[in-house]
A and B are shown apart, each in its own frame.
Chain A
Amino acid sequence: MPKSQYVDPGKAFEAGYIHFEDIPVCQYNKTLKEELKLYSKDDMMRIYRDMAIIREFETMLNEVKVKSEYNGVQYNNPGPAHLSIGQEASAVGEAYCLDINDFSFGSHRSHGEILAKGLSSIHKLDDKELYDIMKEFLDGAVLSVVEKHMNAGGNVKELAINFLLYGALAEIFARKTGFNRGLGGSMHAFFIPFGLMPNNAIVGASAPIALGAALYKRSNHKPGIIISNCGDGATGRGPVLESLNFASMDQITKLWGMDGKFDDGGLPILFNVFNNHYGMGGQTRGETMGFDMAARLGAGFNPSQMHAERVNGYDPLAVIDAVTRKKKLLLEGKGPALLDVVTYRVSGHSPSDSSTYRTQEEIDAWRAADPILAFKTKLILGGVATEAEFAKLHEDITNRMTEIMKLAINDEISPRMDLEREPDAISSIMFSNQKVKSLDPTREAEMLMPKEECPRVKEIKGKVRTAKDKNGKPVSKMKMYNICDGLFEPIIDKFYDDPTLIAYGEDNRDWGGAFGVYKKMTEAVPYHRFFNSPISESAIVGSAVGYAMCGGRAIVELMYADFIGCAGDEIFNQMAKWQAMSAGILKMPIVLRVSVGSKYGAQHSQDWTALCSHIPGLKVVFPATPTDAKGLMTTALEGTDPVVFFESQRIYGIGEEFVEGGVPEGHFEIPMGEPDIKRAGKDVTIVTIGAVLYRALEAAKTLEEQYGISAEIIDARSIVPFNYEKVIESVKKTGKVLFVGDACERNSVMRDMASNITEMCFDYLDGPAVVVGSRNWITPAFELEKSFFPQADWIIDALHEKIMPIPGYVPKNNFTDIEKVDRAKKGL
């Protein structure tokens, strides 16, 4: 909603038509003779060789899977093998056009894509560069195996082919010498130095990640294009459609370059659909989709129709022709683009596929059109090569593959990770735990004005950094430094410190974020670093993952925490897992801001800290004071791990009540995982999560003044990681502990903490560790919220009824075991 673009009611209602251009369908018709002007014999033979290598690699995997044997070598592989036999020409044709600056992302059926892109990169890199890459990778762990045990005849490129095949196969067989130490496996193998980016076991999940990579190229002015590969089945997925739209959004060409300075055009991304006609068994054309041809999708996203085109994916030269043209468009700033590459998977979805959804006749017809056979015939008939040359090539490939397999299944040469001898091998890569001020110190951050001129920075300068003034009087809301300011300060600082930082989400820019955290930041930060995203939560988080994979830092916002559900896969499977699945090769410096609402009922008021902290690989924090908000945001933005940053709409406007002298100025970090004693006491410990801190303080006041009970309040601040020592110390002193939070009580973080404290402090407890959470209901309307969210008197009631009856106290709420059993019986 930029003011520069006037929404004219006169124009909005103007009569007219939407015009579509024709979308080319399999229009390639060059002859071999014409093509031989472009490609040498070597090129042609290399195209053939790459297809044949992929075919043999997958044939080997298939044989191992169905016969537990390949070429006389026995092996049992319990892991997955999603093969793409039949699709080799599509993969090789695409990869032929790419160099190492072009990043490709793929699907769970991506062995072919990996090998094709790898082989293409090997061909394009010079020997020294190539050797250095292999030598540096995992300290030479992969290279040393093929160097030592295979003879490449002193040829670096041959060595590199062995390296690629072995690294991929060892990864598929979960070996420590695989590209990702065996932690990624068949569906996630990748090799970044070749521009070969992660593939994904979640159908369609690569699209938003690839989108993020394109944002990285665009916002950091990096060379190269992005390929987002997926199957035709994946086009039914929301994240894919969100990404097609996100990549096409008008602002990239209309607003990002408005001052001429950063005018790089549209996103350099090619959405490439390997259209093999089936999503597992569902037939997209004629059954599960309505597009008839996937290329039609392009017409739905922007006036250029994403330059969509349908090409013959059984002819590598047709694919090369199309991808070459698309790449040129993208480099000219005319992206995004879409290709519908028609192909066919002769192999089953997996070895257990009995092809109940298609006829043998259909499979046989496609086998007859086999792209490798057809290309060979074409080259022989065209006089490019002889049958004997092909026979020799095949023999070499089979021998090489057999050798590679023997190495990859040898437990001594290719051991698996030994978690008994190295119990911390996985623990040590769950988080990268680094501190980095700037992810690209070679560049100045692109900003529109010096920091001190930023209107918001100036505004904050004039604010009082405590909740009360020197005379103990409450500071007026307008003058008081609040939690929004605490969040803003480290973010604006990081914009100036780290040129790679970008921030986006819904209504982030001119609106200033739905809750005003980014108010008056628009003036200082250029569009390509700070923009409004479409309402596409999957694409917002997924693109942040891709942005981080490429080496940038992103802070993205989902507005309400409830929208975590809309980005479930991106948060739980992508953001959380890639550091460890890559064996620590990838970093994931993302801060995901989510805000816990109130007043807006059932779908806008939920504290989902439990969901996020349940998933290994995410850091989760929930500050409740301006100082903690600032300190934790600073730490999150210095780190290299994904952080889900919970905020609460109840307390954005609250001032600093705890830190004497107010919120510290300048750079100020609070270590993640350290809870904070907000009120010292000796009789009972109350651990709070989030905004409930202030209700616990009220309860503590009542307990002290009316009943002489002194409560110690510990604000958890962080949830993952979490240092229990301070809580243990307090519980040893008081013997009584309650965990309070706004999340629904069942399976909440409070439950988890209470259970841990019971284990760790059992002998010190004078009663059970008690949880006070919200009811296991929907959140009702604001007027009824006091019966849903924990209130001060609930805390006292729970103490009285479950831990230590207070003489003379009459509880209002029922926390008895009888009531609890009854509620649980009813699922409440």
Chain B
Amino acid sequence: MVNKNIFSLAHAAYIRERDTKGNIRMATVVIMPRQGQSVESCIITAFNKKVGDTVDVGEVLFSYETDKSSFDEPAPVAGKILAVWREEGDDVPCLENVLAIGEDGEDVSAFAPKGEEEAETATAPEATPEVKAEAAPAATAESTEAPAATVGVGSISPRARLLAEKTNADLLKAVPTGPNGRIIERDVQKLVDMGLTVSPAAKDAYTEAKAGSGINGRVTLSDLSAASAAAEESAAPAPVAEFEDVKLPNIRKVIAKSMHASLSNMAQLTLNTSFDATEIMELRASLKSGAEKLGLANITLNDMVLFAVSRVILNHKALNAHYLGDTMRYFNNVNLGIAVDTERGLMVPTVFAAEKLSLNDLSRAAKSVIKDAQSGTINPDLLKGASFTVTNLGSLGIESFTPVINPPQTGILGVTTITRRVKEEDGEDVTYPAMGLSLTFDHRALDGAPAAKFLKELCFALENFDLLLTK
């Protein structure tokens, strides 16, 4: 399941040539699309076509991935592959030319991308230190190719934005079909038709620049750059690749680096406990039978744990935080990371402002991001920004484990399988379903007792889930 962008003509540039009869012909240059505002370059994982091959509209030309997602690029036009300027494994700056499709005899050499040496000599005037290594090629591409720079701006039409605001359409799920990857009215209408909307609260968290400083609250460029600066600050520092000569999939590199950094740089320790899952299992059973009637989502035990975490953790702000060396950043919202096992490896999509969602809405939101992560269509912007993470190995029968923190978060909660345990009740031994919780926390950020207090309150909430719901 990859993102088939049938309208990716928007990614194509044109050149005009004349044949000997003077007729105008055109070759189509396919560029590396920009998948999300935060993506600066993508790695080509495979070419399905080579020079000389004939392609039809929609046939996959090549596959590529961002640091978290994979995509296929379909052919925007039919014709012959005249030139391929990249190799598998190349890290290609977004909007740079990849290959050209046209007719025999057309000269497309003018569209060959600039040599890497040349590209490297150019400076990226405003690249921030953290992203220096990866950002330089993209920034260079923009500064040396004026047209690419001009087409990169403006990803949603004012009309589409207005419609999204009115309908609460989830713009993060929009497939842009306008020119230059612009989201236009019909793309938002499609979201609405498919029911892909978000609660206004969640949307606020997505789009921090909602209230613009322009006339009539219009969001201006300055609002957007302010928002993106804020987003950058709150996000994890972008990891820098260290393994140049090993062609790992990009996503593996990221996981490896992230995990290694986590364990080597932090003072992690894990607390284990369990709680009586009787009440949430009963609720789960009754929901299962009644969900359809009430139009509710298929709410799982894990959703309930997420819900409880989202309510309890705000009382323990050191766990809903980022440890940034000399400062702590405490979040006012609970941006809940959910660890998801995918074909490509571990991914952690985020449900923003989870504390504002009802159980039902939280369940839907979690399912949506999990599904996107698994299908590889997740918007890369959704793969960062979490303030706390929940990981669940219960379905695999794990009874206890040591989750690894995703830095700079300060904690991660592992959820395990349910086992039956014995407890004394009115002098008699009775069994009850016990669900295990493993909380890893960063001792640099907080001490054992506060972490244990969080676990205790969380267990109480889960054992008295009806109270939590009525709260």
Contact = CB atoms under 8 A, between A and B. Distances in A.
Check if A and B associate: yes
Interface of A: 735, 762-767, 801-805, 807, 810, 812, 814, 816-819, 821-822
Contact of A765 (B24, B159, B180): B159
Contacts of B159: 735, 763-766
A809 to B, nearest CB: 9
Contacts of B322: none
B216 A804 contact: no
A428 B151 CA distance: 44
Contacts of A735: 157, 159, 185
B178 A817 contact: no
B184 A804 contact: yes
B198 interface: no
B14 A805 contact: no
Given A764-B158, A805-B177, A819-B14, 10 more contacts: A735-B157, A767-B178, A767-B182, A767-B184, A805-B9, A805-B179, A807-B6, A816-B179, A818-B147, A822-B147
B199 to A, nearest CB: 24
A821 B147 contact: yes
A766 B157 contact: yes
Contacts of B179: 767, 801-803, 805, 816
Contacts of B146: 821
A127 to B, nearest CB: 63
B186 interface: yes
A766 B16 contact: no
Contact of B178 (A805, A821, A822): A805
Nearest to B154: A768
Interface residues of B, number: 29
30 contacts: A735-B185, A762-B218, A763-B158, A763-B159, A764-B162, A765-B157, A765-B158, A765-B159, A766-B160, A766-B185, A767-B182, A767-B184, A802-B179, A804-B177, A805-B7, A805-B10, A805-B177, A805-B178, A805-B179, A807-B6, A807-B7, A812-B24, A814-B26, A816-B179, A817-B150, A817-B151, A817-B180, A818-B14, A819-B14, A821-B150
B77 interface: yes
Contacts of A764: 158-159, 162
A436 to B, nearest CB: 43
B60 interface: no
Given A804-B178, A805-B177, A762 B14 contact: no
A195 to B, nearest CB: 55
Contacts of B216: 763
Contacts of A807: 6-7
Interface of B: 6-7, 9-10, 13-14, 16, 24, 26, 77, 146-147, 150-151, 157-160, 162, 177-180, 182, 184-186, 216, 218
A807 B4 CA distance: 14
Contacts of B157: 735, 765-767
Given A767-B184, A804-B184, A805-B178, A818 B13 contact: yes
Contacts of A803: 178-179, 184
Contacts of A821: 146-147, 150
Contacts of A765: 157-159
B220 to A, nearest CB: 11
A766 B159 CA distance: 5
A767 B158 CA distance: 8
A816 B13 contact: yes
Contacts of A762: 158, 218
A764 B77 CA distance: 31
A804 B16 CA distance: 22
A147 to B, nearest CB: 53
A812 B182 CA distance: 22
Contacts of B185: 735, 766
A807 B9 CA distance: 9
B55 to A, nearest CB: 14
Shortest Cβ-Cβ A-B pairs, 4 listed = A818-B147, A766-B159, A735-B159, A766-B185
Contacts of B162: 763-764
Looking at B9, B10, B77, B180, the one whose CB has the most chain A CB atoms below 10 A away is: B9
Contacts of B26: 814
B177 A817 contact: no
Contacts of B182: 767
A788 to B, nearest CB: 14
B176 to A, nearest CB: 10
B218 A804 contact: no
B14 to A, nearest CB: 5
Contacts of A814: 14, 16, 26
A141 B159 CA distance: 54
Given A763-B216, A766-B160, A801-B179, A816 B150 contact: no
Contacts of A804: 177-178, 184, 186
B163 to A, nearest CB: 9
A152 B102 CA distance: 91
A607 to B, nearest CB: 24
A314 B103 CA distance: 84
Contacts of A805: 7, 9-10, 177-179
B311 to A, nearest CB: 39
Interface hub of B146, B158, B180, B186 (most chain A Cβ within 10 A) = B158
A764 B159 CA distance: 5
Nearest to B147: A818
A817 B147 contact: yes
Contacts of A822: 147
B184 A766 contact: yes
A754 to B, nearest CB: 15
Q: Counting chain B CB atoms within 10 Å of each CB, which of A762, A763, A805, A812 scores highest?
A: A805
A802 B154 CA distance: 13
A819 B146 CA distance: 12
Contact of A818 (B151, B177, B184): B151
Nearest to B7: A805
Contact of A763 (B150, B151, B180, B218): B218
Nearest to B218: A763
A764 B218 CA distance: 12
Contact of A816 (B7, B14, B186): B14
A367 B229 CA distance: 79
Nearest to B16: A814
Contacts of B14: 814, 816, 818-819
B111 to A, nearest CB: 10
A817 B24 CA distance: 19
A810 B78 CA distance: 10
A409 B147 CA distance: 58
A745 B126 CA distance: 36
A810 B25 CA distance: 13
A542 to B, nearest CB: 46
A807 B182 CA distance: 15
A727 to B, nearest CB: 16
A733 to B, nearest CB: 11
A812 B16 CA distance: 10
